[in-house]
Amino acid sequence: VVMTTTTTTTTTTRASPEWLLVTGQPGCGKTTAVKTIVEFLQARGQNCRGFYTDEVLLGDDTTTNKSSSSSSTRIGFDVVSVPDGKRGILSRKAGHGDVSTGSRYKTGQYFVDVASFEAIALPSLETRTTSISNDSLTTEKKATEGQEKRKENPNGGSQTTSTIQDDEETILVLDEIGRMELHSKPFSDRVRDLLMIGEGENHNNHNGGRRRCRRLVGAITAPIYGHRVPFCDEVAAQEGVEVHKLTKKTRDRVVQELLQSIENKGWCR
């Protein structure tokens, strides 16, 4: 694991890291950093696929996420797929939408819509040609209508499917591995698959033929007031994972260092 701090300008890296993650306290700019890196890669012809989380402000138009009022009060987060921009609810504060009254999952002030998150995030993180069944999603509620195409199941009912063409050069985007997202067990299982955590001799047979993700850019939650997330610690400790610490003051510098590192590693086409 590689950590950068506000006082350290040089890092010692493992050979050929596959995952570049940023971390830091809420509001330090993790999503901004991830989006900057993705835009850098896309501008150089690199395929990127995955998701990021986007804050929703009071008065936002949820279709465009552009504020229609001068208020800057945050009421929740959306999950947005890359590169197609499909948007779903990740969380809302009480009094802002159905999720705030119907969800049993909560992180801090926010009620988490696990099913909506899974409907966007899980298909975006596939690394082979496959179909994802709607039955594999958390059953708090099924995916929001209109977010996925549905087809009739011969045995009755409907099935949500998503076909992904595998591409070894595609870089996955994962913003973020955090407390809200980890309410979804299928999501944490998917992250384990991507890193082959706990892999054994027959791991590929057990995970449906998925392979370890070669390259990934994303964010991972940091301890808050000393409270750690064991799953995040486990991910950060894996071979091939770099974790770079951001603060509001160091974000721009660290991002520029990461862009240079990505270019040096030959990630761009």
Structural domains of the chain, ranges and CATH numbers in brackets: 19-145+156-265 (3.40.50.300)
Find out whether 76 and 92 touch, Cβ atoms under 8 Å: yes
Name the H helices within the chain.
30-43, 99-102, 114-124, 185-195, 203-206, 230-236, 251-265
Sign of torsion over alpha carbons 15, 212, 78, 146: positive
- The number of beta carbons lying within 10 Å of the beta carbon of residue 44 is 12
Write out the two tokens for 208. 């449906």
Tokens read off for 269: 């086409």
Hey, is 71 helix, strand or coil?
Answer: coil
For the chain of 269 residues, list the mean pLDDT of each consecutive stretch of 10: 45 57 94 97 95 89 46 89 96 83 84 96 78 49 42 45 58 96 97 77 46 83 90 94 95 96 87
pTM of the predicted model, to two decimals? Answer: 0.74
pLDDT at 230: 95
Nearest to 164 by CA among 125, 194, 193, 213: 125
Q: 């279709």: which residue's tokens?
A: 63
Backbone φ, ψ for residue 107 (5° rounding): -130, 115
In this prediction, residue 153 carries a pLDDT of: 45
Q: Are strands 87-93 and 106-107 parallel, antiparallel or unpaired?
A: unpaired
* Chain center to CA of 94: 24
| Cα angle value 90/32/46 (rounded, 5°) | 95
